Amino acid sequence: MVKSLPARSEVEIQETWNLDDLFKTEEAYNDALQELETDVTAFAERFKGNINDEQTIIDALDGYAAIMGKMIPIGTYTSLSLSVDQTNDEAQMRASNYGSIAAKLGSQLSFFTSELSDLPVEQLEKAMNRSDEYKNYLDELIRQKPHKLHPEVERTLAALSSVLNAPYGLYNTTKLVDMKFDDFEVDGEKFPLSYTSFEGGWESNPDTTKRRAAYDAFHAKLRQYQHTQAKTYDMHLQREKTTSDLRNYDTVFDSLLFNQEVDRSMYDRQIDLISTELAPHMRKYAKLLQKVHGLDEMTFSDLKVPLDPNYEPKITIEESKKYIDDALSIMGDDYIDMVNRSYEERWTDFAQNAGKSTGAFCSSPYGVHPYILISWTGSMEDVFVLAHELGHAGHFYNAHKHQNIFNSRPSLYFIEAPSTMNEMLVANHLLSNSEDPKFKRWVISSIVARTYYHNFVTHLLEAEYQRKVYDRIDAGGSVNANVLNTLKREVLEKFWGEDVKINEGAELTWMRQPHYYMGLYPYTYSAGLTISTQVSKRILSEGQPAVDEWLKVLQAGGTKSPAELAKMAGVDITTEQPLRETIAYIGELIDQLVELTEEIEGVKIG
């Protein structure tokens, strides 16, 4: 029986994260905010109109870095305290207040990059030669010069940032506060439903009747909000298009890929190759699920069902630590020390409660340890998800130690490589510990259903849909619920063909994903997993030398482009080969699942 989610005040404190490491009291938070406002005013008074030689550039960068160092924990505390309970009035008002203050501070600080950008390239290069610490920052500033606007325009845009970014907040409020799910009924018995219980339980429930009933009820509620959510998304898209045009980019794609340091060919290749070459493998996997579960037809609502639900162990939070420690021990003592600290010092919010953000994420504020959000259900999937988020944590734990505040964050294109690497290490560790066919099938099916289905299929289909949306926006169009539903259904039907029935409600999947408010993010999951798949193979075959190279990649942070970072780890992402090899590897895993199922069940599959 699935229970209704408790209020945040009712969950065990040991299952929550400890935000005291950011600010111990509300008074300390408010004092820090007031100090930040004072520092920004002093910085503007000292440097506005006075950045005119190499030493002043360096002095101003020192001051700007100090301000960023104070702003980051304040913004992190504000967002994290809201993310665990969007219904909390105090957290809502704090976030709204900080949004207004941050916009004002951004407007005050906008002169800094404007005045730096107006300086001759030669002068910026002289400053770079005098300070290795700021070389990457100034390099990037020079790269962005053609897209900078008049200082007054930049100041106005910064002042309006809380308004311009409002659609994402509205999306979350609609999704996590206003949207209330009714119980659904099966054979006269009622079951509670929520975003968290659907995505963390009902969507993969092995009972077909309950799973499909939960699916229908969940999407019936989404449908009631489709027009509001579509309008919210269209506002976000129009803001991106307007900004792209103002900054003289040819397309929205160019605007969003610019900061990723990735050209359009690398973006398109990731979507096109997977869409065509992975589809046959995943259709084979869908047929396997249908056969094993004796389904009358394979529908979209059945794709998350586990291959062998009877073999799925329940895992406590404490038990997950041993799995992860054992699997990630190859990364070295310092890395494992970070993992252990995450448990001991409550870096992770495991609780399930009403109003909490769905899914999982890792926030890695510079100067403070990372924070991880997850809603723990006790399945093996949770271990993979936690390992994934600890991959982000380990990445920035290393990068922050070796890079300054400007250099620690790499391109979005690379951001999912360290996270998916940890999933691969967990999978490889589990596979090396048993030759039992049922255990092997369970592990491989976990890799396929969690690591590859989620990162290569779910996010890939989001990426192809997103590309269609931006094509429409670039052509001067807009979107509404009917347009978005049609585009999403087309993508799903193309990928799954006749092997999976795209049943009513599947077209509303676009409503579930916050990544659409984060630029061209969805495709980067497959990009990162392509890199991590190849590096994990190197670690299996070469051992410590490959691990050492990978740790150097993590420590490099944002000092190199995605292609350069991948090359450091022995992967050439400027070619199709790593992606093709990864797709082939997924096909091999699915073939193994078919063979193991035939061995275990004693039946011919296919």
DSSP string, 228-263: HHHHHHHHHHHHHHHHHHHTT-SSHHHHHHHTTT--
* CATH fold label, 8-166: Butyryl-CoA Dehydrogenase, subunit A; domain 3 (1.20.140)
Q: Can you give the C-alpha Rg of the chain in angstroms?
A: 24
Give the SS3 label for residue 189.
strand
Confidence label for 331 from pLDDT (cuts 50, 70 and 90): very high
Confidence label for 606 from pLDDT (cuts 50, 70 and 90): low
Residue 369 has φ and ψ, to the nearest 5°, of -70, 160
Q: What is the pLDDT of residue 1?
A: 43
**Can you tell me the mean pLDDT for 543-562?**
95
Confidence label for 11 from pLDDT (cuts 50, 70 and 90): very high
Q: Which residues make Cβ contacts (< 8 Å) with residue 543, sequence separation at least 6?
A: 330
Q: What is the pLDDT of residue 3?
A: 63
CB atoms within 10 A of CB 144: 14
| pLDDT at residue 281 is higher than 50 | yes
Task: Give me the residue spans of the domains in the chain.
Answer: 8-166
Tokens read off for 239:
């803001």
Q: Which residues make Cβ contacts (< 8 Å) with residue 76, sequence separation at least 6?
A: 22, 363, 365, 368, 371
**With pLDDT > 90 as the criterion, what percentage of the chain qualifies?**
83
**With pLDDT > 70 as the criterion, what percentage of the chain qualifies?**
99
The answer to whether 398 and 336 are in contact (CB under 8 A) is: no
Buried b / exposed e across 333-361, counting CB within 10 Å, b at 16+? eebbebbeebbeebbbbbbbbbbbbbbbe
**Can you tell me the mean pLDDT for 330-355?**
96
CB atoms within 10 A of CB 364: 21
Residue with tokens 């993992």: 339
Q: What is the pLDDT of residue 358?
A: 84
Q: What is the pLDDT of residue 162?
A: 86
Q: What is the pLDDT of residue 81?
A: 96
Q: What is the pLDDT of residue 435?
A: 82
pTM confidence score: 0.87
Confidence label for 372 from pLDDT (cuts 50, 70 and 90): very high
Least confident of 54-68, 98-112, 315-329, 423-437: 423-437
| pLDDT at residue 436 is higher than 90 | no
Beta bridge partners, 191, equal 184
Confidence label for 468 from pLDDT (cuts 50, 70 and 90): very high
Could you tell me how many residues make up the chain?
Answer: 606
| Distance from chain centroid for Cα 501 | 28
**Can you tell me the mean pLDDT for 338-354?**
97
